[in-house]
Structure 1
Amino acid sequence: MSAVAHLAPAREGAPAWMAPALMLLPALLIVFGVVLVPLVMTALLSFHSFSSSTGISPGLSLENWAEIAADPYYGEMFLRTFRIAGVVTLACCLIGAPEAYVIHRMKAPWKGIFLVVTLGPLLISVVARTLGWALLFGGRNGVVNKALMDLGVLSQPIPFMFTEGGVMVALTHVMVPFMVLSVWAVLQRLDPRTENAAASLGASQFTILTRIVLPQVLPGILSGAIIVFALSASSFATPAIIGGRRLKVAATLAYDEFLNTLNWPLGAAVAVLLLAAIAAIVIGCNTLVERRYARMTQ
């Protein structure tokens, strides 16, 4: 009893932040060891030079960054990467947001059925889904192309493989569920009485959607767009399968530098630049949209 009584004041006098900090410590250690340390090591690796005869040199150098800045080939790769990611994000916003709203307005059991159908592809590997697109439109032997050509609808197969359009279509199919999830989460907090009140006052359905529903679901669309853009810009499997070696993006370029040419410092520089560019674009767009949203709601 005396020992317990002696320890009680120490517990009572402990800072209020100590208990939450101790609970967060294991997660912080995991994030530090699994995420931050590899990122720092990759960033440091990008400042080393590489030679096919001697390998990675121990001294620090800006050779890789100078090569990326001077060679237009790398600029083309990054431009293609962000062009594809931007188009995929726009397509997912145009498809996923209305889809989430329609499912939200459905009655049971159809709401649950269509939600499972929409989110079901997340349970299937991205590689399997992308290979499905390749089987459907893979040149003359693709199922859809072959059927349309046999029926006389097409004289030439639809160009899909090794094209930007094919990569965009396959990535949109992969990313739409993330947009639906983001908008769906916001729609769950949407009060249906506001729509009913606007309708009772004579507002058209278009006015209700643009003036009442859209401002309230805009944070969900923004969150979904950030997720879709970041995942699309850094995706590897879909561009590698559909684009192949003819149509490289930043992720496949970094992969080739790491595993084909074994130029790890240059691959690290490409990876770090891709990460920094995605972070800058996402933060900048997030700031602009949040300012515009704040003005709309004032």
Structure 2
Amino acid sequence: MTATAATTTAAPPAAAAASTSASAQRAPWALVLPALALFVAVLVVPLAMTVLLSFHNWGQYTGIEPVLVLKNWAEIWSDGYFLEMFVRTFRIAALATVLTALLGAPEAYILHRMRPPWKGLFLLVVLGPLLISVVARTLGWALLFGGENGVANKGLIALGLIDRPLPFMFTETGVVIALAHVMMPFMVLSVWAALQRLDPQIENAATSLGAGSLTVIGRIILPQIMPGILAGGIIVFSLSASAFATPAIIGGRRLKVASTLAYDEFLNTLNWPLGAAVAVLLLLAIVLIVVGSNALIERRYAEVFR
């Protein structure tokens, strides 16, 4: 009788513990659910609708037809015009990434070596462009380029670097320069974050042992900040390949890329299914490139630090 009563009195605490454990397991899902619902509503659903739209038929007189076809995708794969647009898009993105790496890495290192209050001031200068609209910054570059009589050409001629004006507007060179300026803060921040883990005493020790400046940079600094450069390169490349405002303003209608091509198909020719196919293909290409690059980088550094 006593044992039975003890068992009976012990059962409710066990049930309460099980209920508490179940509630604890459901709590993370309850906290994540609002963000997950927002993510699905503003990203997954529009992307799914865009993918579905890319398989619809379109006629000049009938508009969008509720018929699922592969016509738009076949047109993109068979027409060399679309291939040229995508090759140009990724070429411009790659050149902008290289330019930001060549200029942003030294800039981040100099920023890292500065002392307060100059470090905070110049960090604000680097991050300041992020507070300004991309359109405003690109329009500033359009004013600087400004054809043969632009400020850029006049300055280069005055310095004796060129003899005749260079074409910047409506060229890949102008788009790459403007994109590099727009994306520079992302590269600087990535490299600067990597530099925070760099111990300055290692540089001092190498210098005291007779290593020159180039040796210190090439053998000590560069290997340690390379993950930051690669991470910044992935960010800059993906943002540059999908950029719209800068190629549209600097490149104009003479120099189209994939994003401006999709825009024209949506709003000029009103061929929404073809524009959706271009946009989806651009997204897939960027995702594959970014994921593949990240996998190669992780494998490389896993082998190095094994």
Please report the TM-score for the alignment, with normalisation by the length of structure 2.
Answer: 0.89
Q: Cα–Cα, structure 1 residues 120 and 7, in superposed 2: closer, same or farther, change >3 Å?
A: farther
Partner SS, residue 117 of structure 1:
helix
Looking at structure 1, the residues matched to 99 and 228 of structure 2 have their Cα atoms a distance apart, in angstroms, of: 15
2:3 is aligned to none
Partner SS, residue 210 of structure 2:
coil
Q: Where does structure 1 lack aligned partners over 5 or more consecutive residues?
A: none
Looking at structure 1, the residues matched to 212 and 305 of structure 2 have their Cα atoms a distance apart, in angstroms, of: 20
Looking at structure 2, the residues matched to 66 and 271 of structure 1 have their Cα atoms a distance apart, in angstroms, of: 15
Task: Confirm or deny that 1:227 pairs with 2:235.
Answer: yes
Mapping of residues 1-298 of structure 1, within 5 Å: 9=17, 11-14=19-22, 16-145=24-153, 156-298=164-306
Q: Cα–Cα, structure 1 residues 16 and 219, in superposed 2: closer, same or farther, change >3 Å?
A: farther
For residue 258 of structure 1, report the CA deviation from its aligned partner: 0.5
For residue 145 of structure 1, report the CA deviation from its aligned partner: 3.5
Amino acid at match of 2:94: G
Looking at structure 2, the residues matched to 229 and 112 of structure 1 have their Cα atoms a distance apart, in angstroms, of: 27
Looking at structure 1, the residues matched to 158 and 212 of structure 2 have their Cα atoms a distance apart, in angstroms, of: 47
Q: Cα–Cα, structure 1 residues 295 and 148, in superposed 2: closer, same or farther, change >3 Å?
A: closer
Partner SS, residue 57 of structure 2:
strand
Looking at structure 1, the residues matched to 297 and 120 of structure 2 have their Cα atoms a distance apart, in angstroms, of: 31
Q: Cα–Cα, structure 1 residues 24 and 70, in superposed 2: closer, same or farther, change >3 Å?
A: same
For residue 181 of structure 1, report the CA deviation from its aligned partner: 0.8
Looking at structure 2, the residues matched to 219 and 152 of structure 1 have their Cα atoms a distance apart, in angstroms, of: 38
Deviates more, 1:22-31 or 1:9-18: 9-18
Partner SS, residue 262 of structure 1:
coil
Higher CA-based Rg: 2
Q: Cα–Cα, structure 1 residues 143 and 265, in superposed 2: closer, same or farther, change >3 Å?
A: same
Q: Cα–Cα, structure 1 residues 156 and 108, in superposed 2: closer, same or farther, change >3 Å?
A: same
For residue 208 of structure 1, report the CA deviation from its aligned partner: 2.6
For residue 209 of structure 1, report the CA deviation from its aligned partner: 2.3
Q: Tell me if structure 1 keeps the 8 A contact 2:148–2:167.
A: no
Looking at structure 2, the residues matched to 125 and 199 of structure 1 have their Cα atoms a distance apart, in angstroms, of: 44
Looking at structure 2, the residues matched to 92 and 7 of structure 1 have their Cα atoms a distance apart, in angstroms, of: 61
Q: Tell me if structure 2 keeps the 8 A contact 1:137–1:158.
A: no
Q: Cα–Cα, structure 1 residues 222 and 155, in superposed 2: closer, same or farther, change >3 Å?
A: closer
Q: Tell me if structure 2 keeps the 8 A contact 1:215–1:297.
A: no
- Runs ≥4 in structure 1, deviation > 6 angstroms? 147-155
Q: Cα–Cα, structure 1 residues 193 and 136, in superposed 2: closer, same or farther, change >3 Å?
A: same
Q: Number of aligned residue pairs: give it.
A: 294
1:88-109 Cα offsets, whole Å, 9 max, x none, are 0111111111110111011111
Partner SS, residue 283 of structure 1:
helix
Partner SS, residue 13 of structure 1:
helix
